[in-house]
Structure 1
Amino acid sequence: MEPLDKPYSDLRLAAMAPNTFMGKILKIFGPLLDKLLGINKLRNVYESCQLSGLDKQQFSQKLLDGLGVQVSGVNGVLEKVPQSGRCVVVCNHPYGMIEGVIIAHLLTAFRSDTQVMANVGLQIFKEIKGYFIFANPLKPKAKINTLAIKQCFSHLENDGLLVVFPAGRVSFFQSDKQRITDGDWNRLVIKLAQKTRAPILPVFISGTNSQLFHRMGRIYYRFRLLMLAHEMFKLQAHNINLKTNNLLSIKQLNEFKGIKRMNDFVRLQCYLNDENYFTPWLEDDASMPFKNIIPTADKITIKSELAQLPDEQHLLDFKSFSVYYGYQNQMPLCVQEITRLREITFRTLDEGSGEICDTDKFDATYMHLFIFDHKNEEIIGAYRIGQTDLLQNKGGVSQLYLSQMFNFSAGFINQQQPCLEMGRSFIIAAHQNSFHGLLLLWKGIGAFVCQNPHYRTLYGTVSLSKLYDPRSVALIDEVMVTNKDGVNAKEAFKGKLHPEVKDFISAAPVELNQLSALVMGIEEDSKDIPVLLKQYHKLGAIFHCTGIDVNFNHTPGLLLSVNLPEAPEKLLKLYLGSSKAAYLNYDKS
């Protein structure tokens, strides 16, 4: 399309002046203000780039080129946008104008049914008005806003793609938070999503306006509005990165109580994409390839070892499965097979040692509690359990595996009473989606403590696999750790957290189901928090700190303890069975 001879957009303040007394004053001083506010520069770009009368997509691309704006992360965002159907994209508002053009251009190229709720200030460009549903955030009760809200609902009801900048105005320095960030987000997005059942995609837009912009804004807030045009000319060769994670479903929203908390959740998911607060995992040493795993142990010999175990070490049966416990000197081949299966399982979680099997010196001194499937003649899962009283009698705290990860003071529970140190748990892949694997292990633990009722406390770590995003691990650590008394990590987990996380947590406690929603919003594959973490939480676990297990592929581990007699009645009945009362009434004296 050839540009029109006469400019289609009249980029002068005088042209926008209302027919009032103040409008007449504006027309008189318009030329001077055009120069001071950078509107003359904007008009020069408009004319030199021949933007007049262009199609909206051509116009926006040439405008961005003329301003020298570079945008990255586009493909990552488009991969998450549904190809059809209703959806709301929400973004932070770091620049005030140009991000609306960027998002409108990129999403319209992907979906022609894109509409962006935008500030009336963008009406200055007539060529791109087709992108926008205009609103006036400076006048909340203005009629244009009521009409805009109706248009947004209608657009989603027609299965369109809607973009909203919930802050409604440019990010600014907030003295109470001591940082530059969006103001309060309007809750319209939550209302739109709830009424139309539309998923929400939070997109973080990197960067901010100049220091001068923010300094002037601190003097008088309206200076920010007056400087927006000038700020666009400071983006020459500036890279604006777009980053998103996952669509947020209505189910995830409903994990949070009240529209304000839902709104804060969506905002947090947006800011969690800020790469200034992202520290990737250290790369594994590629020069150390995984070794071939040892062959499967002889099944006849394994069954022979099981048959020779004392009757009390055969804890329970369920269908074709039996739960046993034993020690390496009683059943060396069974323990060897457990170490083989551990290595196979842990490698799938990026936790494998890379050796021929997963073993260390503690396998010889710890008890092994495991499930044997008689039908398929195989071990399907196990726990390695340290009896702290027996172990420390042989050489003090150094006999405990977790003493390699944590410094235990005299005040920590494992120095106060006999405990069971739980670790190295696994269920083989074929049984990970079945209910009986983890249940049988815990019934086995219940049977063991009923035989040995002086063990009242379990403690151990939940491995937070490096398949998790570091931001997820940092969130889990921040939310779950509540009692650091008596212990600290020898190598602490040092994850970055966006200040918005602190704001979110300080506003209200985060429940476990809400933590799940947060983590699922971050994870590329939408995975939930570890099943074992949920299991311990149900038992009433106290979480102490997160350390790095340098002997387990530098995997983060969340240390916890469970006072078993205080676990919920329902779970005690499930795991301890008919021996529950005797266990609870055990007299330690």
Structure 2
Amino acid sequence: MLNVETLIQDKYPSFYRRHPRLVQPLIRVLRMLFREKSFQQFAVDYPHLEGFNFVEQVLDYFDFSYTVRDHERLRMPAQGRVVIIANHPIGSLDGLALLKLVRETRTDVKVVANELLSTLKPLHNLLLPVDNMGGSTRRQDIAAIRTHLDNDGAIIIFPAGEVSRLSPQGIRDGDWRSGFLRMAINSKSPILPVFVDGRNSVLFYSVSLVAKPLSTLLLVREMFKQAQNCVDIRVGELISYDSYQKILKQQHQNVSLKEKAKLFKRHLYRVGQNRKGIFGTVTAIAHPENRALLKGEVKQCELLGKTSDGKQVYLYRYQPNSLIIREIGRLREIAFRAVGEGTGSRRDIDRYDYHYFHLILWDDEELEIAGAYRFCDTAPCVDTLGKDYLYSSELFSYTPSMRPYLERGLELGRSFVQPKYWGRRSLDYLWYGIGAFLRRNPQYRYLSGPVTLSNAYPKRAMEMLIYFYSRHHPSCQKLAEPVLPYRISPERNRELAEKFPGVDQKAEFAQLKSELAHMNLSVPTLYKQYTEVCEPGGVQFAGFNIDANFANCVDGLIIVDLNQLKQSKRERYINSPD
């Protein structure tokens, strides 16, 4: 595992050849300092171990452990790219402890480590090597890090590149290199700060003050002194890409990347002191539910149909202590955050989930809920006009004119497809599920509910979409009043009236798509799908409301008359066999 002589030969070949009289005494000293025999005995005892198994055995060998608060453990994102930054107080076992902690949530985690550490072959598959001594990391090594992040992997990096030392502020890292920030920015990754509360011996810090290079030789000795130690690990809240980019651009635009890296160092040490950090943070999304138990619950639901590629569509009704509703809430938050929406909570679950039906698209091979749609029979709330019963009643106040629609209606909403299933007909399969439900329950004539426009749309694009759909799919009468209506200025209204006069829907829709394309945008999928399923007059938009509790997105209240469904769509979704 560790051979001092081989190490000197590989790293300093000319010195090894030219100074044989100096080399041998040096090797003897280094063998003692590096505890070479202990390393080699470990290799003899555990020759088969590598990767995470090796890490666990090393920690067991030293009886080295860590503590972490339960709620902070949940801050570790269970999926998606992330750059995890940490201080390096011990310079050895603290890195392995952090690797083990992250691995409990993420099996795809890798450590950005120096080339010296890369000489430990059992760790090869866990490392992404860099040259943080000479500062000349190879291009292919940088590309490997970027590829890992682009594949939604997790990386751990110690920005100081070396062990912490004694400073006037206590045991602190030295200057942080800015490479971690460049990696995060280039890959648009969130950053997770993790503080390790550890320290080496007084001797180590004393030698560091006198001869810093010499103290580095003591690190192996310090590692053995950590036996039976337990360190406290503090996991901070996730810093999203948008959050840190906003602060860096607005407040520190003309500051060097190295100076910006110092802000993250300050933020991390505040995490260790249980103080508020410098950057705005987001709550990490909840960890996945147990796959086997989840499958068991799904199989108890009513099967509505199967898809051509082997997925199943189920109808779920809430049950107490259900894993399904927790997993739906988790995946909802993932899907909505991916498009700039979301509640900001660990799960997107509200009080309506408990009495609504949930349509589930289940992937039995991956044991995953690919997507879901929730809906509710609106007849029970005709007298109250949906108040305290329908989700849409938080966004719109219904008028008595809405009663006929509620008497024979279903409210639909909160549909999502988790990102890994985007582009795989998943939303279309959910529509098949809705059709299967309607085929078994023909008493329903109307579908209604809020359809979201992301706040990520620029104001001009948002106004065009709202004006177009209000113009070409107007409400036949006053059915609802938005709680917080989206208003377009009179001047902008006149401008949009010239662009979309309401004469030729097909031509004006082409114009809308063209205008959005120039902004690298497109018509939202649900807006397009809902309005394409019916004959003219079959779809109405009763108003547009700003949802302050949902990232200030805009919801359009849509009403679909199934009696005016196009025959081709009826055959496709409702009359097709299960």
TM-score, normalising length: structure 1: 0.46
